Amino acid sequence: MKKIGFIVFSLFFVAFSIPTAQAFWIWSPKTQEWKNPELSPLATPKLQLQKAKKELGSEDYKSAIKEFRKVLIHYPDAQEAAEAQYYIGRCWEGLDNPYQAFLEYQKVIDTYPNSQRIQEIAERMYHLGEYFFDREPSKWFGLSMYDFIEHPAIEIFKKIIEDAPYSDFAPSAQYKLGIIYAKLERFNEAKDTFQELLDNYPESEWAEAAKYQLALTSAQSSSGVDYDDAARKDALAQFQDFLKTHPETQLAAGAESQFNELRTEEAKKHFSTAQFYEKQKKIESAIIYYEIVANKFADTEYAQRARERLEKIKK
């Protein structure tokens, strides 16, 4: 009876001591412990990777992520680990979570820099950056969400430039980074970004557009500045240089329009200065500025007005 009671007690103890957190558990004679097949990897990293890719092929992305992570957890030094990390990014793309996908792809670059997927990852990250680049930000009471947090595309494009500077997507990432800065009215950062593109990728297909945007950004940064017009003068010089070197491009018409607009602003500034001196009865100084407008800005509307004032003053 004691023996039967011991057996019953043992079976009762075993039944209640087996973990039941997930699915079922089995006893491993080899490791002398209970194992949950759902948490345990297959015998080799290759087999585990194949199992995970099968889940991905079935578009069961959440299950696939779990299976790929088993490779990272149990076989971190295996060649398949870099592939598993890459495919986790693919899974997050499938789950329509582009920012998390970017973070997972970045882990491949940081942890497995010798991966053969680096170029492909740079391309995928670029398209993720474009997703945020083209997306209009949410607004509350007229304020953009990017007034409070960094634009995701900025982070993504900067990482491409930093980690894959020789990839096919680095110049375009640099260009679009400058465009984002300009849209956010971070003009100094925009100008630096466009200039870096011209310095680092002078033969790129984006160089011409970057040169135009550099001039345009200088013009935008001078907007509203009446007396400190260094940015306006830079923009004038840059547009003039652009028109000399790219006279037949599609951007030439826009550059000429911007150049003429800036010259008109410059003429207006000098004309206003002349008016100020004239009102102060400082006629000689007024004549100097009226003559500047009449001679140097003869193609603007202010030139004729300046000539009329000069004629009256001389009479």
Cα–Cα distance measured from residue 167 to residue 140, given in angstroms and rounded to the nearest whole number: 38
Amino acid at 182: A
Predicted local confidence at residue 27, as pLDDT? 57
218, with CB counted inside 10 A (0-12, 13-18, 19+), is: buried
Predicted local confidence at residue 247, as pLDDT? 73
SS (H, E, C) the chain: CHHHHHHHHHHHHHHHHCCCCCCCCEEECCCCEEECCCCCCCCCHHHHHHHHHHHHHCCCHHHHHHHHHHHHHHCCCCCHHHHHHHHHHHHHHHCCCHHHHHHHHHHHHHHCCCCCCHHHHHHHHHHHHHHHHHCCCCEECCEEHHHCCCCHHHHHHHHHHHHCCCCCCHHHHHHHHHHHHHHCCCHHHHHHHHHHHHHHCCCCCCHHHHHHHHHHHHHHHCCCCCCCCHHHHHHHHHHHHHHHHCCCCCCHHHHHHHHHHHHHHHHHHHHHHHHHHHHCCCHHHHHHHHHHHHHHCCCCHHHHHHHHHHHHHHC
Nearby residues of 213 by Cβ (< 8 Å), 6 or more positions away: 175, 178, 179, 182, 190, 194
- CB contact at 8 A, 193 and 184: no
Cα–Cα distance measured from residue 230 to residue 222, given in angstroms and rounded to the nearest whole number: 8
The domains located in the chain, with CATH, are: 1-40 (no CATH), 41-116 (1.25.40.10)
Calculate ∠ Cα 229-232-233, nearest 5°: 90
Token couple for 99:
């920012």
Radius of gyration of the chain (CA): 33
Q: Is 137 left (phi over 0), alpha (psi -120 to 50) or beta?
A: beta
- CB contact at 8 A, 174 and 206: yes
Cα–Cα distance measured from residue 107 to residue 105, given in angstroms and rounded to the nearest whole number: 5
Cα–Cα distance measured from residue 167 to residue 160, given in angstroms and rounded to the nearest whole number: 8
301-314 and 252-279 are packed helices; what angle lies between their axes, rounded to 10 degrees? 20
Q: What is the dihedral of CA 80, 82, 85, 89, to 10 degrees?
A: -120
Label the pairing between strands 143-144 and 26-28: unpaired
Predicted local confidence at residue 223, as pLDDT? 63
Cα–Cα distance measured from residue 43 to residue 142, given in angstroms and rounded to the nearest whole number: 57
Per-residue pLDDT of the chain (315 residues; tens, 9 = 90+): 444 444 443 444 334 444 444 445 565 665 656 555 666 778 899 999 999 999 999 999 999 999 999 999 999 999 999 999 999 999 999 999 999 999 999 999 999 999 999 999 999 999 999 999 988 777 666 666 676 678 999 999 999 999 999 999 999 999 999 999 999 999 999 999 999 999 999 999 999 999 989 988 988 776 654 444 677 777 777 767 777 777 767 777 776 677 677 777 777 777 788 787 778 777 877 787 777 777 877 778 877 887 878 888 877
Cα–Cα distance measured from residue 104 to residue 111, given in angstroms and rounded to the nearest whole number: 11
